[in-house]
Structure 1
Amino acid sequence: MTSPTLATTEHPVRATAVLFDFGGVLTSSVFDAFQAFGESLGCDPRLPLRLFRDDAEARELLVAHEEGRMREREFEQGFAVRLRAHGVEVDGTGLVRRIQSGMRADHAMIELVAEVRDAGFRVGLLSNSLGDDCYAGFDLASMFDAVTISGEIGVRKPSRRAYDIACARLDVDPEATVMVDDLPQNIVAAERAGLAGVLHRDAADTTQRLWAALGRS
């Protein structure tokens, strides 16, 4: 986490806004969901995530889907091909929903979003999308002042452009914004784009760190 002072000028900028990630921040762990998915396939539970890291074709499928260049069904069929290439016999239909079934809303974090907004800060969502309907059950329009989803803007975190677009939609400067995300690489990218960062691990820790970054006890 960076300090509450968000600029290095003689007149530091105070935070006026917060961007929240979705999966793994407003929900339970994405990593746990993928591991449960791997277990349901009867393979090494770490295989699905490892493919996105180490298998170039699987990684490109994920990037294309998150950037909106590939719909859910095409992504599922392509990912099933990559799983079969690694010895897992699986039908692609419904793979995304099987992954999403392992994720639950984190109500403490949802309450934190509302509390930050009620305290006078602008709040926005900046999310890499997985699935054509991955936000079902969340009234994003009522929760946030602005919503930025990778599949709609054609660029994903950790691209700097994703942060720039999200801040512009929120009508705030990056230097006055805090990003809450569960992936270290996304926090590093946010800080390079001028934002402050809070790496999410659990609601209690994030609540403390975020209020500190906002200059509140």
Structure 2
Amino acid sequence: MTGTRNAVLFDFGGVLTSSVVTAFEEVGRQLGADPRLPLRLLGTDEQSSTLLVAHEEGRIGEREFEEGFAARLRAHGATVEGEGLVSRLQELLSPDVDMIALVAELRSDGHRVGLLSNSLGDDCYRGFDLPAMFDAVTISRDIGVRKPSRRAYQAACERLGVRPEDTVMVDDLRQNIAAAHRIGLAGVVHREAATTAHELRELLAPAGRRPVSSTEQ
């Protein structure tokens, strides 16, 4: 069956980079705590998750997030200072060259490609020339809203000039794909490049078919 969609939105951390989950677990180990503690707090501890949302939406900077989150980690038994906490995480992430190549390949095939990312850290995209890689870039801190809010997906589609129903979202978090589905995007839960490439080929129109922008509907 030939796909019909013409555009792809890519997440950043854990899609264009190595696993964010693995990086957080390594930070937990480095702190001498349960490796699962940092992610568990961000997911279930109200104060930690509030800090994360505020930072990803651009309402607080990296340092304020670090200090607040370090305090929550200490409250749960970890020995950690706030300064450098985000950098420690980022140093554990490496570019996924196969996924970066896939973005370039899809774009050269005539598909529109965009980035939709929840930002963690004030300089988390260092080393990536995002404007050169993508037709449109949407960062949570710039638009004041983060995935899985439907407004984030709508903003990304508008910037890319496409309709949600013509677009595929690639993300490493299943809940973000479920949210994308709710406004009409198809989704691929990313685990590794070869599988993601195969699933995208099943959803996308054949190479060379010109994407239809939302302004042409």
Q: TM-score, normalised by structure 2?
A: 0.93
Q: Which residue of structure 1 lines up, in the alignment, with residue 94 of structure 2? A: 104
| 1:84–1:90 contact (8 Å) kept in structure 2 | yes
- Which whole-Å CA distance do the structure 1 matches of 2:206 and 2:91 have between them? 36
- Name the count of aligned residue pairs: 207
Q: TM-score, normalised by structure 1?
A: 0.93
Find the partner of 2:109 among 114, 119, 124. 119
Which residues of 2 match residues 197-212 of structure 1 at below 5 A?
197-212=187-202
Aligned residue identity for 1:100: Q
Work out the percentage of aligned pairs sharing the same amino acid.
66
Which residues of 2 match residues 1-217 of structure 1 at below 5 A?
14-216=4-206
Aligned-residue offset at 1:17 = 0.7
- Which whole-Å CA distance do the structure 2 matches of 1:21 and 1:59 have between them? 20
Aligned-residue offset at 1:185 = 0.4
Deviations 1:145-184 (CA, angstroms, capped at 9, x unpaired): 0000001100000000000000000000111001000100
The 4+ residue runs of structure 1 with deviation greater than 2 A are none
- From the superposition, tell whether residues 67 and 4 of structure 1 become closer, same or farther in structure 2 (CA, over 3 Å): farther
Structure 2 unaligned blocks of 5 or more: 208-217
| 1:66–1:150 contact (8 Å) kept in structure 2 | yes
| 1:198–1:210 contact (8 Å) kept in structure 2 | yes
| 1:126–1:149 contact (8 Å) kept in structure 2 | yes
- Which whole-Å CA distance do the structure 1 matches of 2:100 and 2:106 have between them? 10
- Which whole-Å CA distance do the structure 2 matches of 1:89 and 1:44 have between them? 12
- Secondary structure of 1:117's partner? helix
Superposed CA RMSD in Å reads 1.2
- Which whole-Å CA distance do the structure 2 matches of 1:43 and 1:156 have between them? 29
